[in-house]
Structure 1
């Protein structure tokens, strides 16, 4: 009777070990599959980010709003040499005096300025047209960082 009990205990132990081992093995296989899928997704993400970085040349975007006696001007366009200079020259030609400005050139050229017109007859549409012409000039060739 004791030997039968020992055999049963031994058999149960072996079954328990086999179950634990097979469960562990399947978990390892699943983990490896998940790691492969994660690596594949990370590679796709890197390719996507590279493509997005190349495509981040913004459309020429010019916004002008009448504010009191002046204008709130926002310009977003691709980076270029002398971009700020050409825009300030356009302001000067229109008789706009810049009161305050913020400029950024991290991914693209971005400027926000408050400018007051010497000639009160200056129209928002005229300012937009002049700035669009300025941002299209080849004088603002893109810089290569």
Structure 2
């Protein structure tokens, strides 16, 4: 009889130890799962913020590059959002500062882009002057 009592006590201890170990592992798994969920939610929030920043910066996407080829001759590259009569505004701005377009390529597929060679009668114009004129024309 003592042997049965001893076996049942031993079995209970083992069962108690197993329950303790099982619960502790489950708790560790639960904590690990909560950490993964928290990191996932943070990544989703970061992605959402990043996409919102990208969408806000699309409106400010203006790229104007001007290279002086020779005295009074410039290579102009303009890229910005399409719409709003950008080409007309840029050509009018060129006329205001007495610049003539020798050659131009214009595209409005995904965005407005223009490459042009322009010649000015005013030899004092600099790259910064032409850049300012084009940026003002784009903003109209």
> Which residue matches 1:85?
88
TM-score, with length taken from structure 1: 0.59
> Which residue matches 2:59?
57
Unaligned runs of 5+ in 2: none
SS in 2 for 1:66: strand
Contact 1:72 1:112 in 2 (8 A): no
Distance in structure 2 (CA, Å) of the matches to 1:94 and 1:118? 4
SS in 2 for 1:95: strand
> Which residue matches 2:133?
130
> Which residue matches 2:117?
115
Contact 1:61 1:75 in 2 (8 A): yes
Distance 1:129 1:21, change over 3 A: closer
Report matched runs for 1:33-112 at 5 Å: 33-36=35-38, 38-43=40-45, 45-47=47-49, 49-58=51-60, 61-67=63-69, 70-77=73-80, 79-91=82-94, 94-100=99-105, 105-106=110-111, 109=112, 111-112=113-114
* Cα deviation, residue 47, structure 1: 4.2
Unaligned runs of 5+ in 1: 138-145
SS in 1 for 2:134: helix
Contact 1:65 1:124 in 2 (8 A): no
